[in-house]
Amino acid sequence: MSFYAKLAAFWIAVYAALWLLSRFPNSAVGRLAFSWYGPAPAVGEAKSRYLWRWAVYAVSWLAQILVVFAVGVLLLWWWPWLEQEMVFMAFWSFALPLLAGTALLGAVLAVLGALKASLFGPNPVFTADEQGISV
């Protein structure tokens, strides 16, 4: 099978899975896939304040990732043979730095967005309407 056929099959499977999840949003997998993660906007809260809370949330994730990375350093110090294990190295050398970079990027973008909203505007306030919270 050619690369483009594999690529097309992959995206067809992704769209089919998303369609299937959207058909059953109250299933356990659907709730897990479509539930809200992170801070939710509060009624009457300015966008800049909301973005500052997102920055703190992202930094808290970064701190957790750094603690796990430190535990990995301790494990390597106690058991040096772990350095040869593929699963450990894939997690410690690939997944953790990727997650840390994502958390750091999220925190930086949230801080920049909050500064932009508070310094240059617009800085709208979240309001409640009949369909939920809107800007």
DSSP for 76-97, written as a single string:
HHH-GGGGG-HHHHHIIIIIHH
User: Based on the domain organization, do 108 and 63 belong to the same domain?
Assistant: yes
Q: Model confidence over 89-120: pLDDT tens digits?
A: 888 889 999 999 999 999 999 999 999 999 99
- Are 16 and 78 within one domain? no
* Cis bond upstream, residue 39 (ω within 30): no
What total number of domains does the chain contain?
A: 2
Judgement on whether residues 69 and 11 belong to the same structural domain of the protein: no
- pTM, two decimals, is 0.75
The arithmetic mean of pLDDT across residues 37-53, rounded, is: 89
- Say how many residues make up the chain: 135
Domain extent, residue 14, equals: 1-35
